Chains A and B, each alone.
Chain A
Amino acid sequence: MKTINVCIGSACHIKGAYKVINKFLKIVEERKLEDLVVVKAAFCLGECTKAVSVKIDEGKIHSLKEQDVEAFIDKYIL
């Protein structure tokens, strides 16, 4: 079970964190990945220049846009 933390701090919010989270939730639901992964919103992850910041468990910070979400799941979750 992996946890995807999506930053919802000010900078990430402006850069579309809301859309990124919804995209994650949508894909998890569509592809029935609930047993593999849980999506959580996180307060500022401290890497505001990499907005939207996304982190798997305690791993490194990735910078994502809404359209990158699908590929991100394929690469890091599956």
Chain B
Amino acid sequence: MKLFCDIAYDSINKQNEELCGDKVEIVHTENSTIIILADGLGSGVKANILATMTSKIAGTMLREGASISETIETIISTLPVCNERKLAYSTFVILKIQKDGKAYMVEYDNPPIFFVRNEKKLILEKKVRMIHGKRILESQIQLNNRDTIILVSDGVIHAGVGGILNLGWQWENVSDYLIKQTKIEKCAKNISKKLIDTCTFLYDERPGDDTSVVAVKYREQEVIQLFAGPPENMDQDQEMVKNFLGAEGKKIICGGTAANIVSRETENEIVVDFETGNEEIPPMAKMKGIHLVTEGVITLSKVLENIDNYIRNNHIKQIPWKRDSKDGATKLTNVLIEDCTHLKFWVGKAINPAHQNPDLPRDLSIKIQVIVKLTELLKGLGKKVEIEYF
């Protein structure tokens, strides 16, 4: 069983601010992933500069192998001093996860990290260390499958202050909420989005502080092989189908001709399920050994639209597509957002002459562009995506 670090983050700005005073930085090195969340003093430009400098310095130095003590010293001596408060200050939390699942955390003045294991909160044992007069908390743990770590800025803990909650949401309550969400939600992005969405609600859409969350879910890899379009050269059909079916993970086919080729090579019948279609999206089909069989470019374009809306829209309750809908685009969107951690597109470059017909919308000839855009969005969601052309 291979495990994967599913990482997602979201932020909302304090009301009337164009810049966020929190900053998230994620750095991948050969042996580890380093995540930094910094919350700069104040709000707006000043806070943004402090948080950006803190997270960038930490990210760059730790990536290059500097010690935590050197890094903190550099941050403290570099940050500009605030004129009003005579302070140079940004809270931060650093989470380093090694390839072997060892996690190392450093916290400075941030709300304590949330750690959920087996649907319960886990209190980490923290060592106090003084570095250049600053009180730093250090902790270490070996991660298990389905462990979830959530880092937040204090905007989450204070959500609702001055509005619907006298004391704000408070750490214990946020913790209970997160335990529930980690039970329901499979992917990190949904947890992160739901938490930010709830904060927005508690602030009555007018956040009193910059509010950020980073969700990390340590979970099993889910590899998806997605075959879209037949190879340019028909002689390659047989070998490509063989390699595709032999590859690790779930198989998905997007495209009628691609499905026909697989059916021909494997002698497995395609059975179209007309019930799954509607006026917008053509129906799916069933084929032995294949997780999903859908039409090609119309379905993929809709999936691109769905994922784009999902990323932009903070209100997860108003998800831009119906989760209970049976059509191919909805099914594929869910699989890509929630299940998939690794995705490979097998893209044939054969051109369907009929799609060049000027009678048809131009959209039909843009499958490759749709796949390239989809790749960018999915990479932004932390998935490992590759495309191979045939």
Q: A: which residues have CB within 8 A of B?
A: 8-11, 13-15, 17-19, 21, 40-44, 46-49, 51
Tell me if A14 and B257 are in contact (CB < 8 A): no
Q: A9-B282, A10-B282, A14-B298 are in contact. Are A48 and B352 (CB under 8 A)?
A: yes
Closest to B281 in A: A13
Give Cα A17 to B278, complex, Å.
10
The answer to whether A43 touches B272 (Cβ under 8 A) is yes
Q: A10-B355, A18-B279, A48-B355 are in contact. Are A43 and B298 (CB under 8 A)?
A: no
In the complex, per-residue mask of B289-310: 1 if CB is within 8 Å of any chain A CB, else 0: 0000101111000000000000
User: B360 near A: Cβ within 8 Å?
Assistant: yes
Interface string of B244-259 (1 = CB under 8 A from A): 0000000000011101
B260 at the interface (CB under 8 A from A): yes
Among A14, A42, A47, chain B packs the most CB atoms within 10 A around the CB of: A14
**Among residues 166 to 225 in chain B, which have CB atoms less than 8 Å away from a CB atom of chain A?**
none
Q: Give Cα A40 to B273, complex, Å.
A: 9
B354–A11 touching, CB < 8 Å: yes
- A43 close to B285 (CB less than 8 A): yes
A-B contact number at CB 8 A:
72
A46 to B354, CA, bound (A): 9
User: Contact at B354–A48, with CB atoms within 8 Å?
Assistant: yes
**Is there an interface contact between A11 and B277, defined as CB atoms closer than 8 Å?**
no
Is A40 within 8 A of B272, CB to CB? yes
B283 contact from A8, A11, A48, Cβ within 8 A = A8
Chain B interface size, as a band, is 20 to 34
25 residue pairs A–B, Cβ–Cβ below 8 Å: A8-B274, A9-B256, A9-B257, A9-B282, A10-B295, A10-B298, A11-B352, A11-B355, A11-B357, A11-B360, A13-B295, A14-B361, A14-B364, A17-B282, A18-B278, A21-B274, A40-B274, A41-B274, A41-B277, A43-B256, A43-B260, A43-B293, A44-B256, A46-B257, A48-B352
Q: How far is the CB of B266 from chain A (nearest CB, A)?
A: 14
Of A15, A18, A47, A48, which is within 8 A of B277 by CB? A18
Which residues of chain A are within 8 angstroms of B285 by Cβ–Cβ distance?
Answer: 43
With beta carbons under 8 angstroms apart, the residue of B259, B274, B298, B357 that contacts A13 is: B298
CA distance A14 to B282 in the complex (A): 9
Task: With A14-B298, A14-B360, A48-B355 as known contacts, state yes or no: A8 contacts B282, CB within 8 Å.
Answer: yes
CA distance A41 to B283 in the complex (A): 8
Proximity string of chain B (347-369) to chain A, C-beta cutoff 8 Å, 1 when within and 0 when not:
00000111101001100100000
Query: Which residues of A lie under 8 Å from residue B277 when comparing CB positions?
Result: 8, 18, 41
Task: Report the separation of the CA atoms of residues A40 and B272 in the bound assembly, to the nearest whole angstrom.
Answer: 8
Alpha-carbon separation in the docked complex, A32 to B352 (Å):
38
Contacts A43-B285, A44-B257: A9 and B295 contacting too (C-beta < 8 A)?
A: yes
Give complex CA distance A44, B355 in Å.
Answer: 12
Residue of B nearest to A43 (CB): B256
Q: Nearest chain-A residue to B253 (Cβ)? A: A43
Question: 1/0 contact trace for B139-171 toward A, CB 8 Å?
Answer: 000000000000000000000000000000000
Which of chain B's residues 327-359 have a Cβ closer than 8 Å to chain A?
352-355, 357
Task: Decide yes or no whether B270 CB sits under 8 A from chain A.
Answer: yes
CB B272 to nearest CB in A, in angstroms, measures 4
User: What residues of chain B lie closer than 8 Å to A21, measured between beta carbons?
Assistant: 274
B354 near A43: Cβ-Cβ < 8 Å: no
- Are B282 and A51 touching (Cβ within 8 A)? no
A16 CB to nearest B CB, Å = 9
CB < 8 Å: which of B272, B279, B357, B364 contacts A42?
A: B272
5 nearest A-B residue pairs (beta carbon): A48-B354, A44-B256, A43-B256, A41-B272, A9-B256
* Chain B residues whose C-beta falls within 8 Å of the C-beta of A17 in the assembled complex: 282
Contacts of A9 in B (CB 8 A): 256-257, 282, 295
